[in-house]
Amino acid sequence: MSDRYARLVNAPIAGPIARRVGLPQPVRLERHRPGDPALRGLALLGTAPGGRLAQAVAEVLAQAGVDTATETPSDQRFKALVFDASAIADSTELVELQSFFHPTVGLLERCGRVIVLGTAPAACATPRAATAQRALEGFTRSLGKELGGRGVTVQLVYVAPGAEDELASTLRFLLSPRSAYVSGQVIRVGEPPRVDTPAGRDRAVGDAPSSDAPSSDAASSDAASSDAAPSVAAPSEIDWEQPLAGRVALVTGASRGIGAAIAQTLAREGARVAGLDVPALGDELRAAMQPLGGSAIGLDITSPEAPAAIVERFPEGLDVLVHNAGVTRDRTLAKMPAERWSELMAINLSSEERINDALLGAGALRAGGRIVCVSSMSGIAGNSGQTNYATSKAGVIGMVQALAPLLTDGQTINAVAPGFIETQMTAKMPIAIREAGRRMSSLAQGGLPIDVAETIAWFAHPASGAVNGNVVRVCGQNLLGA
Ligand code: NAD
């Protein structure tokens, strides 16, 4: 679905008029192209005194081939500003943010990136430190709103003590155009995951695999019947263009919209993809999977046999499961019949629980496996006419938070919460609501399915083992909700 307004207000004649009368002029967001550098420009690194992350950040960026600076020559422009605020331990020290960003924020290029790194308040040693670290959220969210008009995104990453070496996939994602429509988010990088399987017992996921670990060479061409894939890899061994090579991914609701984009993106990252959708969309699903060399599974996820059928379909287990299938059945509560409520809840939430239970119960999610759920901004902010939908999507967040600490073997579960994404679902909205959905965000435009897919690919990344239990909005920092 095309955004005619954005094209009009950026056209040669209408553009200057729009600017004069103060209409929002959404910038054309940069998006990832295969083979792109990790950052299209220079990164400026700063640290509040005593920061424990500066060195780790410098190492990740050097490994990624990013040019960095720690000083600001007067004629220099920057594509990214990265500030280590992890050691700020008192509200009086928050002025370090002002000292670093005040002179540099105007030097940011269009579609630039700002990342503030902190220590999660719960991990702070004193109430004052926890207070100061919590304050970083207000700073980053406000800066996101100030800079969004230029396509700049701003994030806060809380890094757990001991997780200093777990930043590679997260920094690369947030710096790159892959995160074009993610802004104002608080991301938590936790402790390094441990692998508990006999082959990898007591081995951190980032450590080098032992020689008897499963090899990616054993990959078969059929996504649904693979041999064992590598579950662990050292960051230096990761192919950053094809990090999912040898891994098997299942995407539900894959015949169109966001699900099709997820399948394409995971295949681009090297995964062997299986797409699942209702049998009635069999032709569309096969057409979507065929160019990816993926397999098509016609199955209604609400059917009683669906969980067992999925487990059976992957006798060697799954590396990535993306719960994307979902529906809306909007009505205000006063007009909501029980079947409208129950049908939606079965698709959006209960079937995901049943599939997770079956998969985990059968040990069919491999070591280092990833479950990624698709929630919604409505599940965070609520929405009139969507009590059923918002309940289901808030439930998805609850499921992620409840399961995250229970997973073993370096497995993770996370969720994306899309805001307004240009798909068939949003194309059906009345025009006024559609326009409001697009413009009411810091980036003043709707997102694309690829933006959700790129975020899922970051969660699915083998180096994202310390990213567990997160809910990240892909909403251009929509003004609704937290
Ligand atoms: P879509 O309607 O284009 O695609 C959803 C897919 O799920 C369809 O292919 C559909 O056939 C499949 N599906 C539905 N019921 C199923 C079932 N019982 N079994 C198997 N497959 C089933 O929607 P979309 O916009 O691409 O949304 C994808 C996901 O993103 C959904 O979970 C949706 O709630 C979520 N989401 C979308 C937006 C948005 O702006 N488009 C915003 C927030 C969240």
DSSP assignment string, 296-338: EEE--TTSTTHHHHHHHH-TT-EEEEEE-------B-GGG--H
Catalytic residue among 5, 158, 181, 389, which?
Answer: 389
Distance 280 CA to ligand 1 centre (A): 15
What are the strands, taking DSSP E only, across 89-233?
Answer: 108-118, 153-159, 185-189, 194-195, 203-204
Within its chain, how far is the Cα of 114 from the centroid? 17
What are the pLDDT digits (tens) for 378-421?
999 999 999 999 999 999 999 999 999 999 999 999 999 999 99
CA 400, CA 456: separation in Å to the nearest integer? 14
- 412 neighbors 472 (Cβ within 8 angstroms): no
The CA R_g of the chain, rounded to the nearest whole Å, is 22
Residue 23 has a pLDDT of: 65
Residue 179 scores a pLDDT above 50: yes
User: Which of 348, 421, 450, 474 maximizes ligand 1 atoms within 8 Å of its Cβ, making it the mutation to test the pocket?
Assistant: 421
User: Lowest-pLDDT range, 211-225, 337-351, 393-407?
Assistant: 211-225
- 294 neighbors 275 (Cβ within 8 angstroms): yes
Residue 61 has a pLDDT of: 98
Of all residues in the chain, the percent with pLDDT exceeding 70 is 88
Rounded to a whole number of angstroms, the distance between the first and last alpha carbons of the chain is 27
Residue 16 scores a pLDDT above 80: no
Mean pLDDT value across residues 289-296: 98
- 78 neighbors 109 (Cβ within 8 angstroms): yes
Residue 215 has a pLDDT of: 30
Distance 324 CA to ligand 1 centre (A): 6
CA 12, CA 107: separation in Å to the nearest integer? 26
CA-based nearest residue to 195, from 209, 176, 184: 209
Is residue 257 in contact with ligand 1, taking CB distance under 6 Å? Answer: yes
Tokens of 73: 């020559």
CA 114, CA 95: separation in Å to the nearest integer? 17
Within 8 A by CB and 6+ apart from 149, the residues are 24, 25, 27, 442, 444
pLDDT band at 72 (very low <50, low <70, confident <90, very high): confident
Distance 61 CA to ligand 1 centre (A): 36
Mean pLDDT value across residues 298-307: 98
Q: Which atom of ligand 1 is nearest the CA belonging to 300?
A: 19
Residue 373 scores a pLDDT above 80: yes
Residue 93 scores a pLDDT above 90: yes
Residue 221 has a pLDDT of: 35
Is 5 one of the catalytic residues?
Answer: no
Q: Regarding beta strands 203-204 and 194-195, do their DSSP bridges make them parallel or antiparallel, or are they unpaired?
A: antiparallel
pLDDT band at 21 (very low <50, low <70, confident <90, very high): low
Residue 206 scores a pLDDT above 60: no
Q: Which atom of ligand 1 is nearest the CA belonging to 326?
A: 32
Residue 481 has a pLDDT of: 76
CA-based nearest residue to 362, from 392, 410, 318: 318
Tokens of 312: 């059976």
Q: Which amino acid does the sequence have at 250?
A: L
